[in-house]
Amino acid sequence: MAFSNGEIHFYEVETKEAKDAGVLDGNILAAKWSPNEERYAVASSNGVIYMFSPEFDMICQAEIDDQDLTFASGTPSKESDSEISEAFISWRGDSSIL
């Protein structure tokens, strides 16, 4: 579960408990599992997209280029030209590209 304030939690089905996975800098704008559920992509308002494993280990992070729709679609907010206010993550069916 990803929350707009940057918190990420995961739910243990066996124990029926939510556990804290961490907090990201910036607000979470979008989060989506890859179709094969091997990667979890999270876009944040600080202009970074994070990639996690199913165990929520960070695999990589990259800056979001709002002119490059390969990563995310972004619109600068009124407060800061460096903050992105909207994002959408879409994966290719074979999970090789987002």
Q: How far apart are CA 21 and CA 11, in angstroms?
A: 10
- The H-or-E segment that residue 65 falls in is none
Tokens of 37: 């559920």
The C-alpha angle 94, 25, 80, rounded to 5 degrees, equals 100
Tokens of 59: 């695999």
Count the Cβ atoms, other than its own, within 10 Å of residue 31.
Answer: 19
Kindly tell me if the per-residue pLDDT of 82 is higher than 60: no
Q: What is the pLDDT of residues 7-60, one digit of tens each?
A: 999 888 899 998 898 898 889 999 999 999 999 999 998 889 999 999 889 999
- pTM of the entire structure? 0.76
Count the Cβ atoms, other than its own, within 10 Å of residue 3.
Answer: 12
The one-letter amino acid at 19:
K
